[in-house]
Chain A
Amino acid sequence: MGRYILKRLLLIAPTLLGITVVTFAIIQLAPGNPALLKVQMSRQGGVGDQAVAQAIVEQTRKLYGLDKPLPVRYWIWLKRVATLDFGSSYKDHRPVMDKILEVLPVTLQLSVLSIFLSYLIAIPIGVYSAVRQDSLGDRAATIVLFVLYSLPNFWVATLLIVYLGGGDHLDLFPVYGLSSFDAERWPFWRWLADRLWHLVLPVGCLTYGGLASLSRYMRAGMIEVIRQDYILTARAKGLSEKAVVFKHALRNSVIPIVTFLAFLLPAMIGGSVIVESIFSVPGMGKLGFEAVLSRDYPVIMAIATISALLTLVGMLLSDILYVLVDPRISFERL
Chain B
Amino acid sequence: MGIACAEPGIRHGPDGRSYWRLVWRQFRRRRLAVAGLAVVAALGLVALLASVLANDRPLVLWRQDGLYLPALVDSPGLRGVDFSRRSEVAASARFVLYPPVPYSPTQYDLDRMLEAPSRDHWLGTDDRGRDVASRMIHGSRTSLSVGFVAVGIYLAIGILLGALAGFYGGAVDMVISRLYEIMICFPTFFLILAIMAFLPPSIFNVMVVIGATGWTGVARLVRGEFLKLRAQDFVTASRALGAKDSRVIFRHVLPNALAPVLVSATFGVAGAVLVESSLSFLGFGVPPPTPSWGDILSQSRAYIDFAWWLTLFPGLAIFLTVTAYNLVGEGLRDAVDPRLKTE
Bound complex: CA A142 to CA B188 (Å): 27
Taken together as a complex, chains A and B put the C-alpha atoms of A304 and B315 apart, in Å, by: 30
Partner of B198, one of A15, A31, A168, A289: A31
- Nearest-neighbour CB distance to chain A for B340, whole angstroms, equals 9
Q: A18-B182, A162-B305 are in contact. Are A154 and B187 (CB under 8 A)?
A: no
Q: Point out the residues of chain B lying under 8 angstroms from A168, CB to CB.
A: 305
**A125 contacts partner chain B, Cβ-Cβ < 8 Å:** no
From A32, A158, A267, A295, give the contact of B311 (CB < 8 A).
Answer: A158
- Let me know if B186 and A308 touch, CB within 8 A: yes
Q: CB < 8 Å: which of B179, B182, B199, B281 contacts A154?
A: B281
Q: Are B278 and A274 in contact (CB under 8 A)?
A: yes
Known contacts A15-B181, A22-B182, A304-B186: does B318 contact A155 (CB below 8 Å)? yes
Tell me which of B189, B315, B339 contacts A271 (CB under 8 A): B189
With CB as the reference atom, state the residue of chain B lying closest to A14.
B178
Query: Could you say which of A55-63, A143-151, A194-202 contacts chain B?
Result: A143-151
307-343 of chain B: CB within 8 A of chain A: 311, 315, 318-319, 322-323, 326-327, 330, 339
Give the docked Cα–Cα distance between A295 and B197 (Å).
Answer: 9
Q: Report how far A311 CA is from B182 CA in the complex, Å.
A: 10
Contact flags (1/0) for B109-151 with A, using CB distance below 8 Å? 0000000000000000000000000000000000000000000
Q: How far apart are A103's CB and chain B's nearest CB, in angstroms?
A: 13
With an 8 Å Cβ cutoff, the count of chain A residues facing the other chain is: 51
**Contact between chains at A273 and B182 (CB < 8 Å):** no
Once the chains are docked, how many angstroms separate the CA of A311 from the CA of B274? 23
- A19 interface neighbour in B186, B319, B323, Cβ under 8 Å: B186
In the complex the two chains form, what is the Cα distance from A15 to B185 in whole Å? Answer: 9
- Residue A30, interface by CB 8 Å: yes
- Complex contacts, B326 vs chain A, CB 8 Å: 146, 149-150
Given A18-B178, A146-B326, A266-B186, decide whether A155 and B297 contact each other with a Cβ distance below 8 A.
Answer: yes
Tell me how far the C-beta of A289 lies from the nearest C-beta in chain B, rounded to whole angstroms: 7
Known contacts A159-B311, A270-B187; A167/B178 CB under 8 A: no
Query: Which A residues form the contact surface with B (CB < 8 A)?
Result: 14-15, 18-19, 22-23, 26-27, 30-32, 142-143, 146-147, 149-152, 154-155, 158-159, 161-162, 167-168, 227, 263, 266-267, 269-271, 273-274, 277, 285, 288-289, 292-293, 295, 300, 303-304, 307-308, 311-312, 315
B: which residues have CB within 8 A of A? 32, 178-179, 181-182, 184-191, 193-195, 197-200, 270, 274, 277-278, 281-282, 297, 300-301, 304-305, 311, 315, 318-319, 322-323, 326-327, 330, 339
28 chain-A/chain-B pairs, Cβ below 8 angstroms: A15-B178, A15-B181, A15-B182, A18-B178, A18-B181, A19-B185, A22-B182, A22-B186, A30-B195, A30-B199, A149-B326, A150-B319, A152-B274, A152-B278, A152-B315, A154-B277, A155-B297, A158-B301, A158-B311, A159-B315, A168-B305, A227-B339, A267-B188, A269-B187, A273-B190, A274-B281, A274-B282, A311-B184
